[in-house]
Amino acid sequence: MKILSLLKLFTVDPVQLNIKAKILSLLACFCAIFFIALITQATIGVSNSPIIVASMGASAVILFFIPNSPLAQPWPFIGGQLCSAFIGMSCALNIPETASASAVAVGGSILVMLLLRCLHPPGAATALAPVMAGESITSLGYSFILVPVGINVGLMLVLTVIINRWVMNRDYPSALSAAKETDKSLARSSTQPSHKIGITKQDIELALKNSDSFVDITATELSHLLSNAEMNTFKRIRGDICCADIMMRDITSVEYGTEVEDAWQLIQTKKLKVIPVVDNSKRVIGILTWHDFFKYINLNAYDSLQDQFRRFIRRTASTETNKPEAVGHIMTQSVVTLPETAHIAELIPIMSLQGHRQIPIINEQHRLVGMVYQANLVAALYNQGLAQTVSSNK
């Protein structure tokens, strides 16, 4: 049993990626190192300077296999490599004894990286390069920081952003995704409750700050991970109930060119609060709410609201107009949709935290097939909870 336990320690996968992600990351490392060496060689021409620093290989592993790590972000990578190159060259030029120079180079580079908040482990290897290589690198002096280290770092960063963001569809740098989350939070702050039940991002940041152990993931990514875990737990407890099971199928919709007056009559006659806007193929392109009808009315004008609204929705008789005439001109284009196969757990954060009261449901061809309202979700949760209670009492 002890032997099996030891074997399990050796078989733990340090990178939780699927086979496809591992292959893509491997190819990214290959391409990055190849192009960096090729471009650097073309830039410096025939020179005694090396075309690539060995530590770039370790940096490539961090940047492409764990790009969400705090160690892989642009400032730790740039600052860690350049500062370490400076410390390493200083030690190589001023400390003749190799052991002492090596220790000071590594220790000094780590200290500087910690002080400047740019810890990047391969930087310590960059600091060792001038000490261990001897005359072949020390002859370059402090120009080693720019050539080849500076060129390598600049090219690697550009390739990392391009490959991670536009080839592998990853949120890199993580600061950009965090900024997007902040913008989304501000945009929907008026619809969110003043507090949130459960673990928030602020709770995670405080816990990481108070922890004395290193967690190789950003607070944003950890928040997403915990949210997914909560959703998986909900799915396991509630069972397989998808949006198609609870949605309303008889849905009134309008097209882009539908006149404003006709859309308003539909809302009034059918007592609707929202109407999805679709194209000729029944694909959702927007959504029309009461707010969309009133956002073009000037409340500071002397005319009454009723008169202004009547003039707004009424069709213009002439061929020229200075007001919107079609639904497509006033609709809200940013609309959240979910596939009919989505679990109802995915509705909860959208409705409870983002403030949406109804979600259009689409099929595999992205065509509108129904609508889920808050009342449908509440009823589904109540009925299932009631069924579970009855079955447990039997």
The model's pLDDT over 96-112, given as tens digits with 9 standing for 90+, comes to 999 999 999 999 999 99
Element containing residue 159 per DSSP (H, E) = helix 151-161
Q: Which residue has the higher pLDDT, 67 or 304?
A: 67
Stretch among 274-278, 320-324, 366-370 having the lowest mean pLDDT: 320-324
pLDDT of residue 191: 44
- Residue 257's Cβ-side half-sphere holds a number of Cα atoms within 13 Å equal to 2
The confidence score (pLDDT) of residue 287 equals 93
What local confidence, expressed as pLDDT, does residue 240 receive? 78
* Residue 235 to residue 233: CA distance in whole angstroms: 5
pLDDT tens digits, residue range 258-282? 988 888 889 888 888 899 999 999 9
Apex 270 CA angle, 266 and 274, nearest 5: 70
Question: How far, in Å, CA of 349 to CA of 353, rounded?
Answer: 5
Q: What is the pLDDT of residue 138?
A: 92
Rounded to two decimals, the pTM is: 0.62
Of the pLDDT bands very low, low, confident and very high (cuts 50, 70, 90), residue 36 is: very high
Do residues 141 and 106 touch, judged by C-beta distance below 8 A? no
CB atoms under 10 Å from CB of 269, counted, come to 9
Nearest to 16, CA basis, from 217, 224, 232: 217
Quick one: three-class SS letters along 9-32?
A: HHCCCCCCCCHHHHHHHHHHHHHH
Residue 290's pLDDT is: 84
Task: Please work out, in degrees rounded to the nearest 5, the angle formed at the alpha carbon of residue 314 by the alpha carbons of 326 and 292.
Answer: 50
Pairing of strands 254-255, 338-339: unpaired
Mean pLDDT of the chain: 83
More confident residue, 176 or 311: 311
Q: What is the mean pLDDT of residues 37-55?
A: 86
Indicate the range of 189-193, 246-250, 271-275 predicted with least confidence: 189-193
Going by pLDDT thresholds of 50, 70 and 90, the confidence category of residue 189 is very low
